[in-house]
Structure 1
Amino acid sequence: MDDGLIDRLLQDLKNPDDAIRDRATAALWQIWFNQKGDYGFEILGQSQALLEAKQYTQAEALLTDLIGDQPDFAEAWNRRAVLHYLQGNYERSLSDCQQVVKLNPIHFGALHGMGLCYAALGEYVAAIQSFRQALEIQPYALINQRLILECTARLN
């Protein structure tokens, strides 16, 4: 990955202009999805189609095979985390999100996902920490700001 480009995109996420932030967000997702070239991108697409068809077992098998082949492919771990979350398997989703962040510490999607998992598990302090980490990368992400407030309210 081009570290200079990544740094510029991360700076753009902090720009007050919505359009600049949106372009930077889309560009980062594109980089992450294309980390392993056409092969990885195609498998991610197939898994998404299976997920949308509610064929969760097949989607999980596909992603697990991809992770086995490409264990450093952060987005494969992230897509499997999404799958687990949608099935209510919050501990498994959280574990995959944590692996994403180990591989790609700036992955705001996985940090957000960790917060969602912690919140679903009733671990509101950890959820707040995860949402705050995501906000350090994407300070204008209103969803994370709102979720911090909701989790804070549940602490009282």
Structure 2
Amino acid sequence: MNDYRINRLLKDLKNPNEEIRDRATAELWRIWFEQKGAIGFQIIRQAQLSLEAGEIKDAEITLTQLISDLPDFAEAWNRRAVLYYSIGEYKKAIADCKMVIKLNPIHFGALHGLGLCHAAIGEYREAIQAFHKALEIQPHTLINQKLILECTARLS
């Protein structure tokens, strides 16, 4: 990935102008989805269609095979984490989120997802840490601010 371009987008995520932040967010997602070219993107899309059709096992098999074939494709891990989160397999989702973050430390989506998973199983301190890390990258994201407050309240 082009470091200058990524650094510029990360800077734009902190811009006070919402339109600039939204464009930077969309562009980072595009880069992450297209990391492995058209083939990787198409396979992720196929898994998403399976998930939307309720064919969860097919989606999981597709993503697991993609991860096996391209273990450094962070978005494949992230998509499987989303799948696991959606079916309540929070520990598996946490493991996949951690792999995404290892491969792509600026992946604010995986950090947010990691927080959601920890919160879902009552690990509020870990959730707060993940939401804080996501906010370091996207400081204007209100949902993470709100979730930190909610998790903090649950600790009291």
Aligned identity (percent) is: 66
Q: Which amino acid in the other structure matches residue 103 of structure 1? A: L
* TM-score of the aligned structures, taking structure 2 as reference length: 1.00
C-alpha deviation, 1:143, in angstroms: 0.3
**1:51 pairs with 2:46:** no
Matched length: 156
Measured in 2, the distance between the counterparts of 1:39 and 1:108 equals: 24
In the other structure, the counterpart of 1:126 is 126
Tell me by how many angstroms 1:54 deviates: 1.1
Match for residue 6 of structure 1? 6
With structure 1 as the length reference, what TM-score do the two structures score? 1.00
Partner residue, 2:36? 36
Q: Alignment partner of 1:88: what SS?
A: coil
Q: Which runs of 5+ in 1 are unaligned?
A: none
Is 1:90 the counterpart of 2:90? The answer is: yes
- Classify the secondary structure of the residue corresponding to 2:72: coil
**What is the letter of the counterpart of residue 9 of structure 1?**
L
Cα-Cα RMSD? 0.3
Instruction: State the distance in 1 between where 2:2 and 2:41 align.
Output: 18
The amino acid that maps onto 2:144 is: N
Distance 2:75 2:19 in 1: 24
- Structure 2 equivalent of residue 67 of structure 1: 67
SS at match of 2:105: coil
Gaps of 5+ in 2: none
